[in-house]
Structure 1
Amino acid sequence: MLSLHPTMRRAVASRSLGAFSTAARTIAFSTVRCSTNSFRSRSSLIPVSLSQKRCYARPTEPRLSSTRSTVVQLLSNIGSKREVQQYLSHFTSVSSQQFAVIKVGGATITEHLQTLSSALAFLNHVGLYPIVVHGAGPQLNKMLEDAGVEPQFEDGIRVTDGKTLALARKLFLEENLKLVEELENMGVRARPITTGVFTADYLDREKYKLVGKINKVDKRPIEAAIEAGCLPILTSMAETSEGQVLNVNADVAAGELARAIQPLKIVYLAERGGLFNGDTGGKISAINLDEEYDHLMSQWWVRHGTRLKIKEMRELLMDLPRTSSVAIIHPADLQKELFTDSGAGTLIRRGNKVHSKSSLSEFEHLQTFKDVLVRDREGLDAKATVDRYVEGLKTRGFKAYFDEPMEALAVVLTPQEGSHLAHLASFTITRAGWLTNVADNVFASIKKEFPKLVWTVKADDENLTWFFGKADGSLSRDGDVLFWYGMEDGDDIKELVLEFTRYGRGMFGDINLESRLHRAAHAGSPSLSAAAAQQKRNFSTTGCANALRASRRRPNSVAGQPSRTYTTTNPNPPFGGKNVSNSRPSKVALIGARGYTGQALINLLNEHPHLDLRHVSSRELAGKELQGYDKREIIYENLSAEDVRRMAQNGDIDCWVMALPNGVCKPFVDAVDQTSGSGGVIIDLSADYRFDPNWTYGLPELVNRSSIARATRIANPGCYATAAQVGIAPLVPYLGGQPTVFGVSGYSGAGTKPSPKNDVNLLTNNIIPYSLTDHIHEKEISSQLKTDVAFIPHVAVWFQGIHHTINIPLSQEMTSRDIRNIFQERYAGEKLVRIVGEPPLVKDIAGRHGVEVGGFAVHSSGKRVVVCVTIDNLLKGAATQCLQNMNLALGYSEYEGIPLE
């Protein structure tokens, strides 16, 4: 449930790392154990010792608390509110000066002064006090050039004579004042600190002249500035003990300051915004030095400045707590780097190496292993449960993965005879483990050794998306999500699906070696008492065998609808992997192919590896050759209902697609129904069966995919209706009145038969409203969402594509970011639903296979939101959705044959 009014500061100090929240507790040992209340996929910002003094009285003052709340809302536009609150709690868990040291280059002050100042102002308004150290190299070069002085460098270090130093000192003071004044103009108190912090010796007086090597950092001026509520803005000038001013490289000054301050974060603002891989050209998101340094330094492209930068960062981090990290980031992305899981620049941290053991005898201190398994368990019998679990491991093959301080520990039960499937049985990670990326490292190590893996997780955990990123597929049922990767065997998947669908996680609660799970998939587990297995947990990961063809979706029960399943990030997730439950091509007949939708579907079938189009029926085109299909020569036929009955009786067709106008296809459906068997799958593209309870409504993103997979009669949704439901469904629990959909379609939606609605001359410089009340799609949308919806359709001059502007009254006050979070979580991982910030455009969706949702404009009252949705009416609005349903019903990957971007 979205929290609309969260507390700005979490009581981090009141928790222990071993049991810091009920939400972070996990499992009996049929399940993965995870401490998950605050992980970040690429951050290293971790609260240090909980006994440390916290120096943040000011943000609790009413004025600042109000400002802080406002800025949190603004920050939430770049990430979820959960992420922003989460990182604020980390940053405020240490003393003020230990938040961050930010090095600002001279070019940044010249070219991005307002952007930089705005970013610093944001941080200050939420009670954070970054320490800024700036240089002025480019400005100094220009000033020297204007003064007729030739800049000199030795080994990349500026040779600084007396004249150069005088110019540099004047320039540094000017640039410092420029930044301070810009901050003050934004209402942020800032204090220029131009002397008194860095004491230095001469680096090499003969060679470099007046260049310093810092030997002491005095933190008192910085602490005094912060205590007074001011951002400290430092120049990179130093003095000798005798008072001689010396020039110091700003990067060096920032590093020495970090060694003295020991901050959570050291940020280097750079124009390029990070380090880049020389082979791929892509930005490097994160570098874990303990794991990657040697390999990284052996790469051909790690040379010159890049090599020196990485080496210096490693030397710096070796002098800092493991919780510290370095970020190289563009100034415009500072907030995103600090407050989102994905970050924006290059994150460099030490990380932890991952070790593994495959027997209990390899643990030098077995009790430590047990203590780690116990640390997050609930219940008075935790120790006894762990003892029984460990005893069971003596007779069961397993592999344990952990980092040196055991912030993370995973136990994988190895496949038994006759199976290639491993079972992630335990997964316990501290907050520090999540935030130093150990979770990712451990999972990567597991994946290297086990090509197939299954586990389950509680569906209501706020960090569920991390597991989606690791899985090829998943299925949700009764509050649990079953995950897997590497699964291809359709029979195993079917068997497990039946077990999971029938028994849910209960089938995993009984994990005796002779349990249903063992019999179904040969992946037993050490025995565990039923009582222990039923204890309340936030993250449960149950070893399970092959899983259902499913899709990754947050399970939300909306308006009485069943829980939804999830799709995964894999382009061909099991049920899944390619052709997972069908080892042969499926024969398809298309009844009614003259229209635009029919042609779009033919194009998709032409590229599908397993669907074999055999018959195409069209009265107007009978006898002509089908164009756009290359697998075989097909001549249009004029099939009668009797022809269809005969073909269905003979089993000639596996899937019938009815692409006929409304009210026309019933005789053909009846003909198939008259056969002794099912006659094959029927997918109707008209509205004839969308309200028939004996037919399955085929909108995979909003209907339980397993019901589609089992269906033989599927009603394909309407184009308008698909877009409207996607745009309204996540907010059904928050409705405060009737939603109104203002829809505009391109004229292809009016079909090929001439009419005013597809008359280009009439539509030019025009828009035509039609069927303003009681449109069939209005009934369809309302019926599926179980709430009244008003729908007002229009047609415009473009060919294909639909735009909806949807006005939705709300039952409670929300912000734009709250709404966007709901949509992002609801459609997390859906390959054909894209959540965007700005209102989406028709020209961007035409010819594409998904739906775009955006806008999220909230009225000043907070009780009304306008959501915009675009869809291609011929593709996701018809043909693409039909292919999704065909794939599911025939046992192929849901997205097989659908181009995914």
Structure 2
Amino acid sequence: MLSACAVAVRAGARRSVRRLPTKTAARATLPVTAAAPQRLRHFSSSAARATDLSTRGMIVQTLSSVGSKREVQQYLSLFTGVSSQRFAVIKVGGAILTDYLDELCDSLAFLYTVGLYPVIVHGAGPQLNSLLEQAGIEPQFEEGIRVTDAKTLRVARDLFLKENLNLVNKLEEKGVHAQPLVTGIFRANYLDKEKWGLVGKVTGVNKQSIETAISNGYLPILTSMAETDDGQILNVNADVAAAELARALEPLKVVYLSEKGGLFDAAGQKISAINLDEEYEQLMSQAWVRYGTRLKIKEIKELLDTLPRTTSVAIIHPGDLQKELFTDSGAGTLIRRGNKLLSATSLSDFKDLNVLKNVLIRDREGPDSKETVDKYIEFLSENPFQAYYDGPMNALAIVLPPNNGRQATLATLTITKSGWLTNVADNIFTTLKKEHPQLVWTVREDDENLSWFFDKSDGSITRHGDVMFWYGIESGDEIIKLMKDFTQHGRAMLGDSNLESRLHRAASNASARSPVAQQTRGYSTMARRPVLSSSAFAQTKGRGYVTQTNPNPPYGKKNASKSGTARVALIGARGYTGQELIRLLDSHPNMDLQHVSSRELAGQTLEGYNKREVVYENLSPEDVRDMEKRGDIDCWVMALPNGVCKPFVDAVYEGRKSSNHKSVIVDLSADYRFDNTWTYGLPELVARSNIAEATQIANPGCYATAAQLGISPLVEHLGGMPHIFGVSGYSGAGTKPSPKNDVNFLTGNIIPYSLTGHIHEREVSTQLGAQVAFIPHVAVWFRGIHHTISIPLNKTMTSRDIRQIYQDRYAGEKLVKVVGEAPLVKNISGKHGVEIGGFEVDKTGKRVVVCATIDNLLKGAATQCLQNMNLALGYAEYEGIPVM
């Protein structure tokens, strides 16, 4: 039915559409189009290629390793639905040909085997600079363009021919037929002969040679050399050549292969997607958009302005080409024009009401679809709403405003295949988040498109086959009410009850299932997630990130207090870590610190906690046992020195024996970090679902947290033992007086200790599954740790390769920041995360130095403890934590 709580999206989208029991389902599967069989002749009948459809199936299965089989099939159908030369233009820089030739050829071989024929145009700038220097010719540039005289051109021509043939031969070795097209493709005039010499401005492209090569089953490999009408060869920038080639061929994709693998924002995070029509002006006003980044975005906009809206540009590392082309999330930076959105707040704002009806009915099948839409239009004529759509009405979203204490509701979202190709869906959600601070919507639980909605939402809950999503709702009371209404009333609670009753009668006999939502590429590269049952409210995001607060923790599992507030007891609060945890709990909306135990401070009033008056106690193990037996506490935090907390833990165990209550224990010491019956609580590296189910959690050490995060992304690339040089501020030595926290002794000094066999060395080695060497030191500053980690590699890698691995691994992690330069202790002090940077590779390319900093009292102890408490008690992971 088409109701106010339905989220309807047109079939045929880039992201999958679940099967419908109607003829729409046939459209949803995106079959190979009429043009595709001609494209597939190369799989079965080409004499030059013995690859058949069974091989294609195997390749599809292999590609599924970077995405789902559904995604791969869907994109293949899209790409094979255009003429061969219109699939993609790929620009290959000279550095790619020298440093990433194998990855490039492997990616092109995949495309070739599945019947896709990109047009390749390459440069050779770095190689040319090297050859000119060897020949005693000093390279000259004016306004970024190489000045080309006769000597330079002669060297460039020979070099381009050599690089072209090298690429062709490498492809042939991999079974790919490739044809070198080194002359006769680009026609040109002099750009400015007096200023730049033999540099060309492209005036035309010979498409026939390209089309002939492809029709004969060959990948065309072009150089960026052009000719004048009288036969003079001219040098052309490879980016310019690729742009002119794209203008001539109008491909679906223009791909710029890059060592960096994309564009990066001010924080060093890769930008997943840019919608130029909506974002260009705002983007270009940013202070960090300058120099090469600014020029690249400007040039791409100028190119896309001359191409169909179906064309997009991708900046990608050659090793990630398949992931960029065949998955929803992509791997590099996708740039597209998008579409400008229009809006309406009344039916009179639409030029033609019949067009609106047709848009609403196009997702409907069944005898009563027209009647249902008519009643929906009647409702819209009598009630406030806000609609967003593009000019051709390829996309339409309708939002109902807040009503009777309920949040704004996304009532309809419908997008055609054409609308998907112009990438309107992301633009719509960007606008929705700007104009509607809070929004609720519902999708079927078996909808294959759920991942896109998860990316757009802050939380969700499942009931009877429906998933309700929301964003912008932070109040625990509001979320409780929302969940309660949904679990009691389902979809009906989202819309006006009068509308629901009207439309329900009209649609009750309709044969179609509830409309579903299409996916388009989102800004996030997060992985897919399962939908949890309604009894396990905490949804996961990315690698298991908790994205919603559960104001009512799972009572059956953890027996949290009936108020929805977790009762916390802190054993050992005198130290620095205990004080930091108290401060965090004071600002936590759903945790109540009820007991604080400290033998030295017993009887004194706890300072820094404002929710209630708390007096320090000297709790004995017997007291703890009795409190656990009565169910007084939901979470015990053991903030005691190593080797001290066992009697208290045993007391909790004893109390559980005669009670149905089962509290959570988080131990900040090292006592249980090597006990397999305890869960190791490092959420960025340990499955968050495991922590969420745990009742006893060993909080990692401060040194160990930073070291593991600094090494983990490279474990599979280790060529030997990593060596960790760690330096901590003296707060890490605790409050008990010693030379390691004596400021006078530390001034002008640095103290090494536990030169071998430190417990963190064992901890890191155990958790990573790889032996490490760790040498700790203490210095005169108060808080903060710096690690300098030397990591041997099992293969040659570049600094950019390694930084990309870290950026990909920690994408979306709110408490891990990957930076370029080596991070500084003073910049992490008082902050709740970890900074990782440096990534300097030695001249062999087989050793990298990575630096990591962490505040030992926060992410190294109290903040991480709170992450674990949140997860285990059913709250949002970052609740009460100011993220980086």
TM-score where L is the length of structure 1: 0.64
Question: Structure 2: which amino acid aligns with 1:343?
Answer: G
CA drift of 1:401 comes to 0.6
In the alignment, structure 1 residue 173 sits paired with structure 2 residue 165:
no
User: Partner of 1:328 in structure 2?
Assistant: 315
In the alignment, structure 1 residue 555 sits paired with structure 2 residue 526:
no
SS of match in other structure, 2:39: coil
Question: Structure 1: which amino acid aligns with 2:431?
Answer: S
2:417 aligned to 400, 414, 431, which one? Answer: 431
CA drift of 1:150 comes to 3.8
User: Partner of 1:140 in structure 2?
Assistant: 128
In the alignment, structure 1 residue 614 sits paired with structure 2 residue 583:
no
Question: Structure 2: which amino acid aligns with 1:555?
Answer: V
CA drift of 1:663 comes to 8.8
User: Partner of 1:231 in structure 2?
Assistant: 219
Q: 1:577 to 1:87 in 2, by over 3 A?
A: farther
Question: Structure 1: which amino acid aligns with 2:198?
Answer: L
Q: 1:111 to 1:832 in 2, by over 3 A?
A: closer
Q: Is the 8 A contact 1:83 1:339 kept in 2?
A: yes
Q: 1:477 to 1:105 in 2, by over 3 A?
A: same
User: Partner of 2:300 in structure 1?
Assistant: 313
Q: Is the 8 A contact 2:410 2:441 kept in 1?
A: yes
1:270 aligned to 258, 271, 277, which one? Answer: 258
Separation in 2, partners of 1:338, 1:646: 55
Separation in 1, partners of 2:563, 2:695: 28
In structure 1, runs of 5+ residues without a counterpart are: 1-25, 516-523, 542-551, 674-680, 687-698, 706-714, 721-763, 766-795, 806-828, 835-847, 850-871
Question: Structure 2: which amino acid aligns with 1:635?
Answer: E
Separation in 2, partners of 1:379, 1:480: 22
CA drift of 1:295 comes to 3.0
User: Partner of 1:513 in structure 2?
Assistant: 498
User: Partner of 1:484 in structure 2?
Assistant: 470
Question: Structure 1: which amino acid aligns with 2:498?
Answer: L
Question: Structure 1: which amino acid aligns with 2:879?
Answer: E
Over the aligned positions, Cα root-mean-square deviation in angstroms equals 5.3
CA drift of 1:455 comes to 0.8
User: Partner of 1:845 in structure 2?
Assistant: none
User: Partner of 2:619 in structure 1?
Assistant: 637
User: Partner of 2:353 in structure 1?
Assistant: 366
Q: Is the 8 A contact 2:5 2:491 kept in 1?
A: no
SS of match in other structure, 1:404: coil
User: Partner of 1:57 in structure 2?
Assistant: 41
Separation in 1, partners of 2:576, 2:601: 17
Q: 1:535 to 1:68 in 2, by over 3 A?
A: closer
SS of match in other structure, 1:256: helix
In the alignment, structure 1 residue 539 sits paired with structure 2 residue 516:
yes
Deviation readout 1:578-612 (Å, 9 max, x if unpaired) = 9xx99999684649x599xx999998566323434
CA drift of 1:461 comes to 1.5
Q: Is the 8 A contact 1:658 1:683 kept in 2?
A: no
Equivalent pairs counted in the alignment come to 686
Q: 1:154 to 1:612 in 2, by over 3 A?
A: closer
Separation in 2, partners of 1:66, 1:877: 50
Q: Is the 8 A contact 1:135 1:235 kept in 2?
A: yes
CA drift of 1:248 comes to 2.2
Separation in 2, partners of 1:422, 1:435: 28
Deviation readout 1:371-391 (Å, 9 max, x if unpaired) = 111111222221221111011
Within a 5 Å distance, the mapping from 1:178-257 to structure 2 comes to 178-257=166-245
Separation in 2, partners of 1:329, 1:213: 26
Q: Is the 8 A contact 2:368 2:507 kept in 1?
A: no
Question: Structure 1: which amino acid aligns with 2:513?
Answer: K
Separation in 2, partners of 1:702, 1:72: 31
CA drift of 1:628 comes to 12
Q: Is the 8 A contact 1:102 1:269 kept in 2?
A: yes
1:896 aligned to 841, 865, 879, which one? Answer: 879
CA drift of 1:349 comes to 1.3
Question: Structure 2: which amino acid aligns with 1:316?
Answer: L
User: Partner of 2:539 in structure 1?
Assistant: 566
Q: Is the 8 A contact 1:576 1:894 kept in 2?
A: no
Q: 1:51 to 1:319 in 2, by over 3 A?
A: farther
Separation in 2, partners of 1:431, 1:464: 18
Deviation readout 1:838-857 (Å, 9 max, x if unpaired) = xxxxxxxxxx99xxxxxxxx
SS of match in other structure, 1:63: coil
User: Partner of 1:456 in structure 2?
Assistant: 442
Q: 1:881 to 1:241 in 2, by over 3 A?
A: closer
Question: Structure 2: which amino acid aligns with 1:311?
Answer: K
In the alignment, structure 1 residue 378 sits paired with structure 2 residue 358:
no
CA drift of 1:656 comes to 7.1
CA drift of 1:84 comes to 2.7
SS of match in other structure, 1:215: strand
SS of match in other structure, 2:498: coil
SS of match in other structure, 1:380: coil
Q: 1:398 to 1:228 in 2, by over 3 A?
A: same
Once structures 1 and 2 are overlaid, which stretch shifts more, 471-480 or 340-349? Answer: 340-349
SS of match in other structure, 2:7: coil
1:398 aligned to 385, 390, 398, which one? Answer: 385
Within a 5 Å distance, the mapping from 1:588-607 to structure 2 comes to 588=567, 590=569, 607=584
Q: Is the 8 A contact 2:274 2:334 kept in 1?
A: yes
CA drift of 1:194 comes to 1.3
2:5 aligned to 24, 30, 33, which one? Answer: 30
User: Partner of 2:81 in structure 1?
Assistant: 93
TM-score where L is the length of structure 2: 0.66
Q: Is the 8 A contact 1:420 1:452 kept in 2?
A: no
Query: Quick one: percent identity of the two aligned structures?
Result: 48
Separation in 1, partners of 2:762, 2:190: 74
Q: 1:429 to 1:628 in 2, by over 3 A?
A: farther
Question: Structure 1: which amino acid aligns with 2:9?
Answer: C
Separation in 2, partners of 1:662, 1:285: 46
Q: 1:248 to 1:876 in 2, by over 3 A?
A: closer
SS of match in other structure, 1:529: helix
Within a 5 Å distance, the mapping from 1:713-862 to structure 2 comes to 717=695, 798=763
Q: 1:539 to 1:261 in 2, by over 3 A?
A: same
Q: 1:141 to 1:446 in 2, by over 3 A?
A: same
Question: Structure 2: which amino acid aligns with 1:268?
Answer: Y
Question: Structure 1: which amino acid aligns with 2:336?
Answer: R
Question: Structure 1: which amino acid aligns with 2:539?
Answer: Y
Q: Is the 8 A contact 1:48 1:323 kept in 2?
A: no
In structure 2, runs of 5+ residues without a counterpart are: 17-28, 519-527, 554-559, 639-646, 667-685, 699-755, 771-810, 817-831, 834-858
CA drift of 1:637 comes to 2.4
SS of match in other structure, 2:383: coil
CA drift of 1:359 comes to 0.5
In the alignment, structure 1 residue 504 sits paired with structure 2 residue 480:
no
Separation in 2, partners of 1:657, 1:136: 63
Separation in 2, partners of 1:164, 1:586: 74
CA drift of 1:410 comes to 0.6
Question: Structure 2: which amino acid aligns with 1:613?
Answer: L
1:284 aligned to 267, 271, 280, which one? Answer: 271
Deviation readout 1:671-724 (Å, 9 max, x if unpaired) = 989xxxxxxx762669xxxxxxxxxxxx9977999xxxxxxxxx964679xxxx
Question: Structure 1: which amino acid aligns with 2:594?
Answer: R
Separation in 2, partners of 1:384, 1:283: 48
Q: Is the 8 A contact 2:3 2:376 kept in 1?
A: no
Separation in 1, partners of 2:606, 2:416: 57
User: Partner of 2:777 in structure 1?
Assistant: none
User: Partner of 2:732 in structure 1?
Assistant: none
CA drift of 1:409 comes to 0.6
User: Partner of 2:847 in structure 1?
Assistant: none
CA drift of 1:393 comes to 0.7
Q: 1:391 to 1:140 in 2, by over 3 A?
A: same
Separation in 1, partners of 2:280, 2:135: 44
